[in-house]
Amino acid sequence: MSDAFTTNGASEPSGFFGAEQAQITEDLDPAIWSEIDDFLANNPGGQERLIPLLHMVQESVGYLPFATQEYIADKLGLSPAQVYGVVSFYNFFTTTPRGRYQFKVCMGTACYVRQAQRLVDALRVDLNVELGGLSEDGLFNLDQARCLGACGLAPAVMVNNRVHGELTRLKMQRLVRSLRSQSDKKPKDGPDGSGGEASR
Amino acid sequence: MSAEEHARAPVKVPDEEGRMDPTVKVCAGTACVASGSLEIAEKFREAFNGHPELRVQVDEDCLCGQDVGITGCHGFCAAGPLVKVPRVGVMYCRVTEDDVNEIIETTLAKGELVERLLFKDPRDGTPCRNEHDIPFFRKQMRVALRHCGEVDPEDIDDYVRVGGYGSLERALGMQRADVVDEVKRSGLQGRGGAGFPTGFKWQIVGEAEGTKKYVVCNGDEGDPGAFMDRSLMEGDPHAVLEGMTIAAFAVGARRGFIYVRAEYPLAVARLKVAVRQSRERGYLGSKILGRDFDFDVSIVEGAGAFVCGEETALLRSIQGLRGMPRPRPPYPAQEGLWGRPTLINNVETYANVPVVISDGAEKFSEVGTELSKGTKTFALTGNVNNIGLVEVPMGITLREIVYDIGGGIPKGKRFKAAQTGGPSGGCIPAVHLDTPIDYKSLQELGAMMGSGGLVVMDETTCMVKLARFFLEFLVDESCGKCPPCRIGTRVMLNILDGITKGKGTLEDLDVLEKLSRHIQSTSLCGLGQTAPNAVLSTLRHFREEYVEHIEWKHCRACECKEIVGSPCSHACPAGIDIPRYLRESAQERFDQAYLVVRERIPLPHVCGLVCFAPCEARCRRAQLDENLSIRAVKRAAVEYGSHAEPTDFEKPEPSGKKVAVVGSGPAGLTAAYYLARRCGHQVTVFERLPEAGGMLRYGIPRYRLPGESLDHEIDEIIKNAGVEIRTSTRAGSAEELKKQGFDAVFLAIGAHEGFRMNIPGEDQRGIWDGVSFLRRIAEGKDVDPGRRVAVVGGGNTALDAARSALRLGAEAVTVLYRRSQEEMPADPVEVEAAIEEKIDINYLTLPVSVQRQDDELVVDCIRMRLGEADASGRRRPEPIDGSEFQLDVDSIIVAIGQKPGDADKLGVGLGRGDLAVVDPHSLATDSDGVFAGGDFVLGPASVIDAIAHGRRAAVNIDRYLGGSGNIDETFTAPEDLTGIQGPGEEEGARGRLIPEHLVAGSRKEQFVQVERVFTKKQAVTEATRCLHCDLELT
């Protein structure tokens, strides 16, 4: 398998996962392969590195194309099925591209009791996207999340890493509008929002 | 030093313990951050640059403080963002960026408080200066959360300054076995949910063979509604680390892992900072605190799998595998990570450990109950005023948590149940509010302590849908390994789904219970074993809701979408198409609106005047701003549109059958109307009083329901349908009526006989029964209650009597009700009107005896307090010794309940309270061809309930007589819905309009109608607030 992954991307696209994945592999930024190598070099160990590594790749690429999974499998001495088994088990990992803004509506009990379902329904209309899907303009993903732990602010929605609370349909619409106009100004950028680092 | 002096002092000095607090402390818990607290902190920093006199001056002897510090979550999420100014001892709530300058200029510069930013006690509005005053904090005992809200979670020095790592130091000077022993004797139990004795687990790991052992912290707080561990990890990460390090020492481990959910990026970040700082200071790493003890910790992130909260699944996840549980034994304590002995404990458990070591086992175990020692954190959320994070001693009651700490239920709703233990737990209904919370008591109730999620629910939560919600969560999160969980829970979910969609059967409930027991006893791990809990628990405490969904396609909370069109119509016992008549009213088509109402009831004006409007209690607009004044719009529609009454109609074919209706109240009149007008039967109504109307005439006073309005509808609608009403005529028994040639009988005699107080002195002059009192007034007889009147009771009859007495010339009317205001059954609108009319309502007061002294009556009364709850869930009132007092009055009116009078003379089976026993669907009694409804069946209920019974009786009587039972009437064309939109983006908050009332002073001497009808414009304005829930536009 490893000969399929030279960094010049000139090798035969792997037919193992189909034509669409083959195209994705070709389009991948080749920096990812060295990012994976660096991660493994800086973190010696065994299979326990798999999940942190998958997090890193998904953070970087935006999702986990099969080509990356195969590469990781090879480097960790696992079969691609084992890696795919882990990827498919955990809710966070995805093998399809994500939108610029990932809406995760909290469906925890407190938010549910405060009518979170109605927010989901409203968002499906406003973002023109189905649950778990990507909007046509590639901007928005809509998912339900398990409890975000912001119950004091029910109902809550996490947009990328930022939690927005005490939402009503109106506030939601304003937020969507501001994100749309933001994305018009910044054509391509990393994920919006803070919260991933320490607060100072 | 006074506050002002403090504020002016330019140099900050450390306190006695050498600590320095920042000038301003801003809460940086997740909720406050999401509400903008970091921006507030930044604004303070910028502002301090412009105010050098407020800055901290650094002295070589003083530890360097900061101007603005952040803290972890205080738990008071409902009032955030929170800002504290320590040297003035104040906590500000709901702070915004715009408040920053005012806080600096008022509090920091002058030492004065900004009143509007203080928390106000909701009971009386007193401003609260800080945690000591705020009721939310007063009953709490913050042990695990001791530093949250106080220290900067990203500054290890702050932690050390408040005594942090002192316990570690102490422990390292002890023998390992003694540390384990201390934890054992403290009685500390695992706080993750199962409550396993912590010390015992440490002992097992400590004694296990092998030199390579691990210590793991379970930070995979997955229960929806729980955020205790999150707040701990974000707010006091060092407490967790210290506890883990002590544990590692005690059991002989050298490596530790903290497994944190991926949904908690801030917790991960703060823990990483804490670990780094700990290593730098020598609290982690090799030769900790100079001893021969090495220990280091890695932070491991989860990836969104609830099942990884289960310990064996969690360990597999750390190892980079699919997080699927495995059978136990062997337990992780013997074979855990990579097959080695592993201690795994919850975040909160570790946070308690330093306290156990520093306080000692004896002191620690002084708090709590016999079997559950210490305190417990709870995430208090849902329909409760003070949403937030609390910590309380074990043994506190649920009532104290919900009401004293939580501040009760918002928006005037009532407590229905509290869910503990997340999806694996169970619900606790109102009757058990006085249960002391501990592991055992909750288990006995069919609930579970769980990790600490406590979700409060009011009557707008459907318990069936809630069970379905939890089950769906668990079906999703099931790892799929064992069939009972993988398949069993899915089958249960399908059944529940059917029930919420109105497709369930009663057999389904048996299947659910049987399946639950199988799944509980055969699942591999805790997820499956506890998956049926929510269903079992709701079935146990709220079975009637399941039955209502199945048998009546009714969801009393109006939540289940497939059964409920619009909640208002669903809540209306007569099923009136409310959104439609609101739409017609919004377009000033009042005649059409009138006809929409008329399609379902024959007494539209009566209802428009006096219905207690169950629709309004479910109006969804309340979630936006306030519910609609539906009844008032209906009244306006009727008064402006009743000319459209279809008086000319095609009379139906006479059926040749005769029906006797006994009683001309709303139930009897309604049944008579439909039986005559739609079914073609010959209907005779027997009414023993001189005029028709029942309670409408003789119970509800004229200032609420004018006689002319009632007459009009009885004449134009009921009699116009061909109904014969024989007033001043007593009917015989049901058998006698059948002998007279009636083919069916409907008994709607109401409940007109008042209960007695059963106290000494009750039978004497000047003491009236409430119903009789009101009847005499309605009959036009002379009634003089005197100057001072006492009314005993708290229902609508009592209030009607009180307000009537006022209009008969009484100057001082006092109502004595033995329970509290919250429990008073009278319509709150009536209570408010009574208070406006200066009627004195004495809650928690009971008359004990009456004596006559010359011209007046002396009533001995005693004050009551609320004791424990009885079977109905209401707290039983108990007399307070020594609180006796006397009331001098001219008359007493007793209105403490009613039952049907002379019911036994009718010859049908009676149940408790002399109420007729009927089949709930057909209203048939045990006597062939004899039906009963209204208050005779329900006890004193409402007009609309009686009307609904009248409809149901008509349907079933017609069927009994061989007809189709179809009483549908159509007076309108199908609605044209083109162009109807939901509320637009501009729709901001708009409060409800309420009808104008006569000024209280001008009401008294007359029985003039008090409420004015909406003008057309008002009706239109109010009607346009409707969200058209039936169209599901929003």
CA of B524 vs chain A CAs: smallest distance (Å): 18
* pLDDT tens sequence across B447-465: 989 899 999 999 999 999 9
B1 pLDDT exceeds 60?
Answer: no
Interface A-B, measured as beta-carbon pairs within 8 A, has a size of: 166
Mean of all residue pLDDT scores within chain B: 91
For the residues B404-414, what does the mean pLDDT come to?
89
Q: How far is CA A87 from the centre of its chain?
A: 12
Q: What is the pLDDT of residue B359?
A: 95
B472: nearest CA partner in chain A: A107
Chain B residues within 8 A of A150 when measuring between CB atoms: 30-31, 34, 227
Distance CA B702, CA B1008 (A): 7
Q: CB–CB of A200 and B323 under 8 A?
A: no
| Candidates B381, B385, B424, B1034, partner chain A, best to mutate (most A CBs within 10 A) | B381
A165: nearest CB among B35, B226, B455: B35
Q: What is the pLDDT of residue B4?
A: 42
H or E element: which one contains B469? Answer: helix B463-477
* pLDDT tens sequence across B314-335: 999 999 999 999 999 999 999 9
C-beta neighbour count of B415 within 10 angstroms = 24
Distance CA B680, CA B656 (A): 8
Mean of all residue pLDDT scores within chain A: 78
Contact B383, B419 (CB under 8 A): no
User: Is residue B168 classed exposed, middle or buried when 0-12, 13-18 and 19+ CB atoms within 10 A define those classes?
Assistant: buried
| Least confident window among A18-27, B155-164, B307-316 | A18-27
A89: nearest CA partner in chain B: B322
CA of B107 vs chain A CAs: smallest distance (Å): 25
CA of B35 vs chain A CAs: smallest distance (Å): 7
- The CATH classification number of A101-185 equals 3.40.30.10
Identify the CA nearest to B848 among candidates B838, B859, B840: B859
Contact B641, B593 (CB under 8 A): yes
- B186 or A199, higher pLDDT: B186
A91: nearest CA partner in chain B: B304
Chain A residues within 8 A of B154 when measuring between CB atoms: 198-200
Distance CA B497, CA B464 (A): 9
Chain A residues within 8 A of B269 when measuring between CB atoms: 196-198
H or E element: which one contains B932? Answer: strand B930-932
A147: nearest CB among B226, B302, B419: B226
Chain A residues within 8 A of B452 when measuring between CB atoms: none
B986 pLDDT exceeds 70?
Answer: no
Q: What is the pLDDT of residue B104?
A: 85
Q: CB–CB of B33 and A199 under 8 A?
A: yes
Chain B residues within 8 A of A166 when measuring between CB atoms: 35
For the residues B554-578, what does the mean pLDDT come to?
93
Q: What is the pLDDT of residue A105?
A: 87
B154: nearest CB among A85, A170, A198: A198
B627 pLDDT exceeds 80?
Answer: yes
For the residues B531-557, what does the mean pLDDT come to?
95
| Least confident window among A72-76, B409-413, B841-845 | B409-413
For the residues B61-85, what does the mean pLDDT come to?
78
Identify the band that residue B17 occupies on the pLDDT scale cut at 50, 70 and 90: low
Contact B224, A155 (CB under 8 A): no
Chain A residues within 8 A of B319 when measuring between CB atoms: 47-48
B344 pLDDT exceeds 80?
Answer: yes
Q: What is the pLDDT of residue B398?
A: 95
Q: What is the pLDDT of residue B61?
A: 40
A2 pLDDT exceeds 90?
Answer: no
Chain B residues within 8 A of A58 when measuring between CB atoms: none
Residue B14, token pair as written in the block:
């450390």
For the residues B622-635, what does the mean pLDDT come to?
91
Identify the CA nearest to B313 among candidates B304, B300, B322: B322
Angle at B647 between CA B644 and CA B652, to 5 degrees: 130
Helix (H, G, I), strand (E, B) or coil at B840: strand
Q: CB–CB of B262 and A92 under 8 A?
A: yes
Beta bridge partners of B788: B812
Q: Which CATH class is domain B375-552?
A: alpha beta
Query: Phi-psi bin for A7: left (phi > 0), alpha (psi -120 to 50), beta?
Result: alpha
For the residues B779-786, what does the mean pLDDT come to?
92
Beta bridge partners of B297: B256
B225: nearest CB among A108, A162, A173: A108
| Least confident window among A110-124, A179-193, B256-270, B507-521 | A179-193
For the residues B574-599, what does the mean pLDDT come to?
96
Cα first-last separation, chain B: 58
Q: What is the pLDDT of residue B118?
A: 94
Q: What is the pLDDT of residue A38?
A: 96
For the residues B697-704, what does the mean pLDDT come to?
95
Q: CB–CB of A200 and B221 under 8 A?
A: no
Chain B residues within 8 A of A131 when measuring between CB atoms: none
Q: CB–CB of A199 and B223 under 8 A?
A: no
Identify the band that residue B655 occupies on the pLDDT scale cut at 50, 70 and 90: very high
A175 pLDDT exceeds 50?
Answer: yes
Q: CB–CB of B34 and A149 under 8 A?
A: no
Chain A residues within 8 A of B457 when measuring between CB atoms: 113
B18 pLDDT exceeds 60?
Answer: no
Distance CA B936, CA B913 (A): 10
For the residues B32-59, what does the mean pLDDT come to?
76
CA of B304 vs chain A CAs: smallest distance (Å): 5
Residue B559, token pair as written in the block:
């939540």
Q: How far is CA B9 from the centre of its chain?
A: 49
- A171 or A190, higher pLDDT: A171
Chain B residues within 8 A of A169 when measuring between CB atoms: 1034
A46 pLDDT exceeds 90?
Answer: yes
A58 pLDDT exceeds 70?
Answer: yes
Identify the band that residue B587 occupies on the pLDDT scale cut at 50, 70 and 90: very high
Q: What is the pLDDT of residue B361?
A: 96
Chain B residues within 8 A of A173 when measuring between CB atoms: 985
Chain B residues within 8 A of A40 when measuring between CB atoms: none
B913 pLDDT exceeds 60?
Answer: yes
B720 pLDDT exceeds 90?
Answer: yes
Q: Which CATH class is domain B658-697+720-752+900-960?
A: alpha beta
Report ipTM for this prediction.
0.79
Contact B54, B45 (CB under 8 A): no
CATH of B755-897, one of 3.40.50.1220, 3.50.50.60, 2.60.40.10, 3.30.565.10: 3.50.50.60
Angle at B226 between CA A105 and CA B25, to 5 degrees: 95
Q: CB–CB of A162 and B318 under 8 A?
A: no
A151: nearest CB among B33, B323, B381: B381
Identify the CA nearest to B693 among candidates B630, B756, B633, B605: B605
Q: What is the pLDDT of residue B467?
A: 95
Chain A residues within 8 A of B33 when measuring between CB atoms: 163, 195, 199
Distance CA B438, CA B543 (A): 25
The reported pTM is 0.85
* pLDDT tens sequence across A113-165: 677 788 888 888 888 888 888 888 878 888 887 666 666 676 888 888 778 88
Contact B268, B260 (CB under 8 A): yes
Sheet holding B812-816, edge to edge: B767-769, B891-894, B788-792, B812-816, B840-842
Q: Residue B13 contacts by C-beta under 8 Å, 6 or more apart in sequence?
A: B20, B62
- B98 or A12, higher pLDDT: B98
Cα separations in angstroms, A197 against B266, B273, B806:
7, 10, 68
Cα separations in angstroms, B769 against B801, B811, B889:
10, 20, 16
Identify the band that residue B988 occupies on the pLDDT scale cut at 50, 70 and 90: low
CA of B136 vs chain A CAs: smallest distance (Å): 14
Q: CB–CB of A90 and B302 under 8 A?
A: yes
B737 pLDDT exceeds 70?
Answer: yes
For the residues B59-73, what does the mean pLDDT come to?
63
Q: What is the pLDDT of residue B52?
A: 64
For the residues B748-764, what does the mean pLDDT come to?
94
CATH of B3-138, one of 3.30.565.10, 3.30.1600.10, 3.30.1780.10, 3.40.30.10: 3.40.30.10
Q: Which CATH class is domain B156-364?
A: alpha beta
Identify the CA nearest to B30 among candidates B79, B81, B69: B81
- B682 or A181, higher pLDDT: B682
Q: CB–CB of A147 and B224 under 8 A?
A: yes
Q: Residue B1032 contacts by C-beta under 8 Å, 6 or more apart in sequence?
A: none
A11 pLDDT exceeds 50?
Answer: no
Among residues of chain B, what percentage have pLDDT more than 70?
A: 95
Q: What is the pLDDT of residue B10?
A: 36
B320: nearest CB among A47, A151, A197: A47
Identify the band that residue B411 occupies on the pLDDT scale cut at 50, 70 and 90: confident
Q: If you write DSSP's letter for every residue of B549-590 in order, what string do you get?
A: HHHH---TTS--TTT-SSHHHHHSTT---HHHHHHHHHTT-H
For the residues B384-411, what does the mean pLDDT come to?
92
Q: CB–CB of B227 and A150 under 8 A?
A: yes
A152: nearest CB among B388, B470, B624: B388
Distance CA B198, CA B144 (A): 15
Contact B98, B43 (CB under 8 A): no
B57 pLDDT exceeds 90?
Answer: no
B34: nearest CB among A86, A113, A150: A150
B487 pLDDT exceeds 70?
Answer: yes
| Candidates A47, A89, A98, A171, partner chain B, best to mutate (most B CBs within 10 A) | A89
B305: nearest CB among A91, A165, A195: A91
| Least confident window among B9-23, B385-399, B727-741 | B9-23
Q: Residue B328 contacts by C-beta under 8 Å, 6 or more apart in sequence?
A: B312
- B980 or B325, higher pLDDT: B325
Q: What is the pLDDT of residue B399?
A: 93
Same fold, B658-697+720-752+900-960 and B755-897: yes
Helices (H), B853-942: 935-938
Distance CA B67, CA B55 (A): 6
Chain A residues within 8 A of B624 when measuring between CB atoms: 168
Identify the band that residue B249 occupies on the pLDDT scale cut at 50, 70 and 90: very high
CA of B358 vs chain A CAs: smallest distance (Å): 30
Chain A residues within 8 A of B265 when measuring between CB atoms: 161, 195-196
Whether domain B570-646+976-1031 has CATH 2.70.98: the reply is no
* pLDDT tens sequence across B176-214: 999 999 999 999 999 998 899 999 999 999 999 988 999
B500 pLDDT exceeds 60?
Answer: yes
* Per-domain residue ranges of chain B: 3-138, 156-364, 375-552, 570-646+976-1031, 658-697+720-752+900-960, 755-897
Q: CB–CB of A113 and B457 under 8 A?
A: yes
Identify the CA nearest to B494 among candidates B520, B514, B475, B510: B475
Instruction: Classify residue B323 by its DSSP letter.
Output: -
* Per-domain residue ranges of chain A: 2-89, 101-185
- B378 or B61, higher pLDDT: B378
CA of A181 vs chain B CAs: smallest distance (Å): 17
- Do you find a cis peptide bond into B604, omega within 30 degrees of 0? no
